[in-house]
Amino acid sequence: MENQQDAVRKKRVLSLIQPTSVPTLGNYLGALKNWKDMSDEYDCVFGVADLHALTVRPEPAALRRQSAEMFALLIALGLDPEKSIVFIQSHVHTHAELSWILNCYTQFGEAARMTQFKEKSQKHSDNINIGLFAYPTLMAADILIYQSDLVPVGADQKQHLELARNIAERFNGIYGNVFTVPEPFIGKKGAKVMSLQDPTSKMSKSDTNPKASVSVLDTPDVIVKKFKSAVTDSEAVVRYADGKDGINNLMTIYSCCTGLDYDAIERDFSGKGYGDFKAAVAEAVIEELRPLRENYEKIIGDKAYIASLAAKGAEFALRVSSRTLGKVKKKVGLYLADK
Ligand code: TRP
C-alpha cells in the first residue's frame, strides 16, 4: 500500500489535535471537517497530541479518557486507518526522540519569542515548565518526521509552523536535504465560527456560558435550544453585513453545512424572520453532525476495537517515521549499532 502511495506521490498533509475536551462546532467546521475531505485527495497523517497536553499537567484519568475519546472521534469522522495514518502521539516514540534532537538545533531566543509560550507562561505562572517552552520543537518533530508537505493550522499555530520551517531549513543547510520544508495549508474556506452568545469572540470550548458553544456531540434538542438563544440584532433581515456579527456567524455556519453562498441564503430567507432562520441553521448543523455523533456512539463503548485501531495506527506511524529518524541520527553522528 505504501509503495503505491509513493508511486503516485500524493502530497502529505499532517495535523494533530490536543485531547483537551470535546471539539466544538468551530473546531469541526474550521478543521476536522476538512481533515475528512482532505483524506481522499492527500496522503494524510492525523493524530492526537497527548504529549502536548502534558504541558499543562492535566488530571491523569481525564487525559487518558479524553485521548481515547479523541482518537475514537477521528475514527467516527470517517478517517480510514488503512489509508491514512491515524494515531496517538505518545504511542510513537520517534516523535519525542526527534524532538530532543531538534531542541539542539533550535535557539533559546527563537523559542522564547513564541507568543503562545508567553501567553501560557502568564496563564500558568505556577508551572512554567520546560515542556511548555519546548512545545514547538515537539510540534516541529511531529511535522518533519513524516516529511509533511502541508499542515493545516489555525492562526494560533502559524508561528509554530514558521519555526518548524526554520528548523528544517537550518538542518537541511547543515546536513543536506533531510527534511521536506512544510507549507501552511490554506483551506478552501477558512471557517471561523464565533460564540453564539458573543459573536465578536471565537467559539471556544472553555467558554463559561454553555450556550455559547456547540459541541460536536451535542444531541439535536440541545443544538436547537442553543441556536434559538443565539444573539442576533434588531434589524430582522437575514443579510451579511458589517455590524451584524450574530447573523454573519449564523450565515457562515449555515453556508458551511449546506454549501449555499451568502447571496443564496439571503434570497432563501428574504421576508422571513430570525426565528425561521435559526431553526434552519440548527437543522443544518444537526444533519451535518449526525453521522459523526452516531458513528461515535456506535464505537465508543467498544474499548477493544478502539485499542486495536490505535495499535495499528501506531505501528503504521512508527514504520513511516522511523525512516526519517534513522536518517537524522546518522546525519548528526549518533553511533548506530545496527549498521
Ligand atoms: N499544537 C497544536 C494545537 O494545539 C496541536 C499539534 C501538535 C499540531 N502537533 C502538531 C498541529 C503538528 C499541527 C501539526 O492545536
With the most atoms of ligand 1 within 8 angstroms of its CB, the residue from 17, 45, 74 to mutate is 17
- The 10s digit of each residue's pLDDT in 309-320 is 999 999 999 999
Angle of helix 245-258 relative to helix 274-299, nearest 10 degrees? Answer: 50
Q: Which atom, in ligand 1's list, is nearest to the CA of 139?
A: 9
Q: How confident is the model at residue 6 (pLDDT cuts 50, 70, 90)?
A: low
With cell 467546521, the residue in question is 29
Nearest protein Cα to ligand 1, atom 6:
16
Nearest protein Cα to ligand 1, atom 4:
18
Angle of helix 158-175 relative to helix 303-332, nearest 10 degrees? Answer: 40
Q: How far is the CA of 218 from the centre of ligand 1 (A)?
A: 25
Residues 170, 171, 177, 181: is their CA dihedral positive or negative? Answer: negative
Give CA–CA dist 25/254, Å, rounded.
12
99 contacts: CB under 8 Å, gap ≥ 6 = 134, 137, 138, 140, 141
CA angle 296, 301, 303 (to 5 degrees): 105
- The 10s digit of each residue's pLDDT in 52-69 is 999 999 999 999 999 999
Q: How far is the CA of 293 from the centre of ligand 1 (A)?
A: 24
211 in catalytic set: no
pLDDT for the residue numbered 205: 84
35 contacts: CB under 8 Å, gap ≥ 6 = 15, 44, 46, 74, 77, 79, 152
pLDDT for the residue numbered 187: 66
- The 10s digit of each residue's pLDDT in 136-155 is 999 999 999 999 999 998 88
Residues having CB within 6 Å of any atom of ligand 1: 14-16, 18, 49, 52, 139, 142-143, 151, 153, 157
**What is the average per-residue pLDDT within 18-47?**
94
Q: How far is the CA of 49 from the centre of ligand 1 (A)?
A: 7
SS3 92: coil
Task: Please name the amino acid found at residue 275.
Answer: G
The strand order across the sheet containing 85-88 reads: 85-88, 43-48, 12-17, 150-151, 183-184
Task: Write down the mean pLDDT value for the chain.
Answer: 95
120 in catalytic set: yes
In the chain, the domains with their CATH numbers are 2-190+303-332 (3.40.50.620), 220-297 (1.10.240.10)
Q: How far is the CA of 229 from the centre of ligand 1 (A)?
A: 33
From the list 148, 172, 173, 178, the residue with the least C-alpha distance to 161 is 148
